[in-house]
């Protein structure tokens, strides 16, 4: 596990009383052929801001073509070392 035991420290190397907000993320269910991974996502305290420092709601991701027009992302296809598609 990557950063699951992270503890923020102050300038004197003492554990800080206010730790960053986080959620534990699990990547892969274990049935995709990959090892299940867990880590902490420290974005719990993140607040998006405008240039004048007022809060804003982050937009959703939109895939775009090279000319900046929107596109629908293709479904992910896993491949083996010879670049042949692998079915789940």
CA–CA separation, 53 and 68 (whole Å): 27
CA–CA separation, 6 and 79 (whole Å): 34
Residue ranges per domain, the chain?
1-15+23-47
Neighbours of 4 (CB within 10 A): 11
How confident is the model over 29-76, as pLDDT tens digits? Answer: 767 677 778 888 888 888 899 999 999 998 888 999 999 999 998 888
How confident is the model over 17-42, as pLDDT tens digits? Answer: 888 888 888 887 767 677 778 888 88
**Over 80: is that where the pLDDT of 1 sits?**
no
**Over 60: is that where the pLDDT of 3 sits?**
yes
């Amino acid at each position: 596990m990557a950063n699951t035991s992270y503890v923020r420290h102050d300038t004197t190397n003492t554990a800080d009383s206010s730790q960053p907000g986080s959620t534990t993320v699990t990547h892969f269910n274990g049935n995709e052929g990959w090892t299940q991974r867990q880590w902490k996502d420290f974005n719990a305290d993140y607040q998006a801001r405008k240039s004048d420092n007022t809060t804003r709601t982050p937009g959703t991701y939109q895939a775009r073509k090279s000319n900046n027009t929107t596109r629908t992302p293709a479904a992910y296809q896993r491949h083996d070392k010879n670049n042949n598609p692998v079915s789940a």
